[in-house]
Amino acid sequence: MPKKNPNNPWWKVLATDTLGVLLLLLVPFLGPLPGPGGIPLIIAGFGLLAVNHDWADNAIIYVRRHSESLRAVVFPNITWAKWSWDLFALVLLSFGTYLNFTAEHWLMKAISIGIMASSTTIFMLNRGRIDWLDKQLRRTGKK
């Protein structure tokens, strides 16, 4: 396979590829932890691999193109589905808040924060609220 950037020295290619692969190998171990989990690691790993490899670049392009269609499948434009997702997010947020106030162990508190972050993510992705917020923030930034 020809190199994507033939002007890069071999040590730079080796360093970026090694770091990218290490980040991808950390995903199964750090993914289950509360918070964003392994998503930033996947993005960073593929980003580093895309510097030198077309296949990683193509994978990033594929995900960008198909992320909208995935969101449309998970959060369909059906009234009962929208209300169901909102109700699920509210129940999840309530459970996470309850767990945060009643838990005594630091790990349970961390899990409760992850649950609350997940419920907020579901709430924002449902009904296109994240798109509306993005549009409003971009409009505010142009002033």
Give the pLDDT confidence score for residue 1 in this predicted structure.
53
8 and 46 belong to one structural domain: yes
pLDDT digits (tens, 9 = 90+) for 68-80: 777 788 888 899 9
Q: Work out how many domains the chain is built from and give that number.
A: 2
Across all residues in the chain, what is the average pLDDT?
A: 86
53 and 116 belong to one structural domain: no
> How distant is the alpha carbon of residue 70 from its chain centre?
13
**What percent of the chain lies above the pLDDT cut of 90?**
34
**What percent of the chain lies above the pLDDT cut of 70?**
93
Indicate the residue among 40, 73, 106 that finishes a domain.
73
Q: What is the reported pTM?
A: 0.56
Indicate the residue among 73, 104, 126 that finishes a domain.
73
Give the pLDDT confidence score for residue 21 in this predicted structure.
92
Q: What is the DSSP letter of 31?
A: T
Dihedral-angle region of residue 119 (phi above 0 means left; psi in -120 to 50 means alpha; beta otherwise): alpha
66 and 12 belong to one structural domain: yes
Q: Which helix (H) or strand (E) holds 133?
A: helix 129-141
Q: Which domain, by its residues, includes 95? A: 75-143
84 and 56 belong to one structural domain: no
Q: If DSSP codes are grouped into helix, strand and coil, which group holds residue 7? A: coil
47 and 110 belong to one structural domain: no
Specify whether the CB–CB gap between 100 and 119 falls below 8 A. no
Query: What are the two backbone dihedrals, phi and then psi, of residue 141, each rounded to the nearest 5 degrees?
Result: -70, -20
pLDDT exceeds 70 at position 22: yes
d(CA 57, CA 114): 30
36 and 100 belong to one structural domain: no
67 and 81 belong to one structural domain: no
pLDDT digits (tens, 9 = 90+) for 78-103: 999 999 999 999 999 999 999 999 99
Give the pLDDT confidence score for residue 88 in this predicted structure.
95
47 and 107 belong to one structural domain: no
Indicate the residue among 73, 103, 123 that finishes a domain.
73
The mean pLDDT of 19-27, rounded to a whole number, is 91
Angle, helices 39-50/54-74, rounded to nearest 10 degrees: 150
Specify whether the CB–CB gap between 38 and 27 falls below 8 A. yes
